[in-house]
Amino acid sequence: MPPPKPEELKNLRESFRAKKQACFILGASGETGKELLAEILKQQIFSRVTLIGRRKLDLEEPLYSSVKQEVVDFEKLDESSAAFQGHDVGFCCLGTTRGKAGAAGFVRVDRDYIQHSAELAKAGGCRHFVLQSTKGADASSSFLYLRVKGEAESRVEAVGFDRCSIFRPAVLLCDRRESRPGEWVTRKVLGAVAYVCPTLYSVPTVTVARAMVNNVVMPGPDNRKVEILENADIHALGNVK
């Protein structure tokens, strides 16, 4: 589906806002998640926003006064099923790295936590699930990272939301708070490449966040419950303001 024109997007936002829907965000403390929260609050398209995470975030400013926080133990997620109830849209920007969590820990977070959260969200009434995956995600890949990302996509699809939007960004461009030396070098190189060909190997986290918010106010694609947005689609949609 082609991205909307700015005037069209304004009307879509207004119609969506009038529906007074609620959303939750998983991973709002992360680089994409924090941009997503900022964009959602800027656009004021939801009447209620819940952050579901393993720790409470320090959100002092009045801007965040309407944001509810639910602290959960992802290893005992069934005990927190109430946290997922009553949201129309769920955004998932959860993820770790093999370096940080080990191979098993990476699978646990990037696939199992995501699947379990999606199941509880669906049971709680969520109709549209927005998943941040990655470029090249492929359940049959021999690379652990791409395979696990592909498996997470398949498992979320299988939950059967009315609508499921899967975002597959390339390398995320941001000033990452956490030190990841390998990624830092890649980002510097790709930041330079992005001047020449912005949509090829990378995408700024602000663009991913805006594309997610623009996606939810747009109608879903005809006759398809699952839509996949590749890196170029994310750029095209996220650059409409």
Annotated active-site positions, please? 145, 149
Nearer to ligand NAP, 18 or 71 (CB): 71
The first and second tokens of residue 183, run together, are: 């990624």
Nearer to ligand NAP, 172 or 229 (CB): 172
CB of 168 to ligand NAP, least distance (A): 8
Nearest residue to ligand NAP, using CB? 30
| Residue 48 one-letter amino acid | R
Nearer to ligand NAP, 6 or 192 (CB): 192
CA distance 80 to 117: 10
CB of 223 to ligand NAP, least distance (A): 28
Nearer to ligand NAP, 6 or 182 (CB): 182
CB of 7 to ligand NAP, least distance (A): 31
β-strand partners of 67: 49
CB of 189 to ligand NAP, least distance (A): 13
CB of 169 to ligand NAP, least distance (A): 5
Q: Residue 165's closest CA among 88, 223, 224?
A: 224
Nearer to ligand NAP, 13 or 151 (CB): 151
> Could you list the residues that contact ligand NAP (CB under 6 A)?
27, 29-33, 53-55, 74, 93-96, 109-110, 132, 134, 169, 171-172, 183, 205
